[in-house]
Amino acid sequence: MGFVADQLRRGGMVIGAVGDLNRDELAAFVDRVFGSLPIGSGVVDVAEARPAEGGALLISRLAVPQSTVAFGQAGLKRRDPDWYAARLLNDIIGGGGFRGRLMKEIREKRGLAYGVSTGLVTFRHAALILGGVATENARVAQSIDLIRGEWRRMREEGPTEAELDEAKGYLIGSFPLSLDSSEKIASLLVEMQLEQLPIDFLEHRAALFAAVTHEDARRVARHLFDPEKLSFVVVGNPADLTPTRTRPEPRF
């Protein structure tokens, strides 16, 4: 109860609503659900957070036949003007399923894992590009080397024009399919408010992706991807890996 009293306030609350109701009906519903909360200022003092970029390799030993690997480094915030280029680059390297470079190198060519993916994580006070893969212990080191290699290739060469065009086509064309429920539409309305996107954002979203040039993408790739700053956390019992730090074996 103390946390609720201290943290949950009407001030600063953002609401997205979808359905057969008018403004007065929505206002009455919001008052009924949240009206008992204190007004508050809605202002919370949160410091900016930036992840360590030392290229760490942390291993938590666990006696299992397959290791789970998480990896990541600093990314770009949603309000960064280069976010659209970064979103396209993420689709190319690991966010686009079987179109992604990592999936092709790790699964299709070598069969090292069932899947590997990356994504942009954009918090209000921090931004990351995170990924994950799971593979048998004997193949963890090889998988990590391949991920670092693709990170380096993206940094040094950037995407091809064909890759960029394909990513644009997917992110623009598939967007309506992500709005197939009232819940998803309401979530988008909340995101637009939190990120201070203009009310006509949806009318211009496609053009924002389409405007990213090949040179834009290459420039952002040089800034965003750095294999020396890419950190890995491995849970399992991987072979042929020398960690920069090892956690004690978990006890259950």
What the block records as the tokens of 121 is 């994580």
Per the CB < 8 A criterion, the answer to whether 247 and 59 are in contact is yes
Q: Are 29 and 61 members of one domain?
A: no
Residue 46 lies in a domain: no
Domain CATH code at residue 115: 3.30.830.10
Residue 158 lies in a domain: yes
Q: Are 21 and 66 members of one domain?
A: no
Residue 50 lies in a domain: no
> How many structural domains comprise the chain?
2
Q: Are 25 and 106 members of one domain?
A: no
Residue 86 lies in a domain: yes
Q: Are 148 and 233 members of one domain?
A: yes
Q: Are 201 and 78 members of one domain?
A: yes
Average pLDDT, the chain: 92
Closest to 114 measured CA to CA, from 102, 126, 127:
102
Please give the average per-residue pLDDT across 80-94, as a whole number. 97
Residue 241 lies in a domain: yes
Please give the average per-residue pLDDT across 151-159, as a whole number. 98
pLDDT at 97: 85
What band does 86 get if pLDDT is binned at 50, 70 and 90? very high
* pTM of the predicted model as reported, rounded to 2 decimal places: 0.90
Q: Are 9 and 133 members of one domain?
A: no
Q: Are 61 and 179 members of one domain?
A: yes
Domain span holding position 11 = 2-34
pLDDT at 247: 52
Tokens 């644009």 correspond to what residue? 168
pLDDT at 245: 57
Tokens 């394909």 correspond to what residue? 166
3-state SS string over the chain? Answer: CHHHHHHCCCCCCCCCCCCCCCHHHHHHHHHHHHCCCCCCCCCCCCCCCCCCCCCCEEEEECCCCEEEEEEEEECCCCCCCCHHHHHHHHHHHHHCHHHCHHHHHHHHCCCCCCCEEEEEEECCCCEEEEEEEEEEHHHHHHHHHHHHHHHHHHHHHCCCHHHHHHHHHHHHHCHHHHHCCHHHHHHHHHHHHHCCCCCCHHHHHHHHHHCCCHHHHHHHHHHHCCCCCCEEEEEECCCCCCCCEEECCCCC
Residue 236 lies in a domain: yes
Q: Are 19 and 84 members of one domain?
A: no
Q: Are 135 and 177 members of one domain?
A: yes
Q: Are 120 and 168 members of one domain?
A: yes
Residue 48 lies in a domain: no
Residue 94 lies in a domain: yes
Closest to 149 measured CA to CA, from 230, 52, 36, 237:
230
Q: Are 232 and 172 members of one domain?
A: yes
pLDDT tens sequence across 35-78: 988 887 767 778 888 888 789 999 999 999 999 999 999 999 99
Q: Are 108 and 25 members of one domain?
A: no
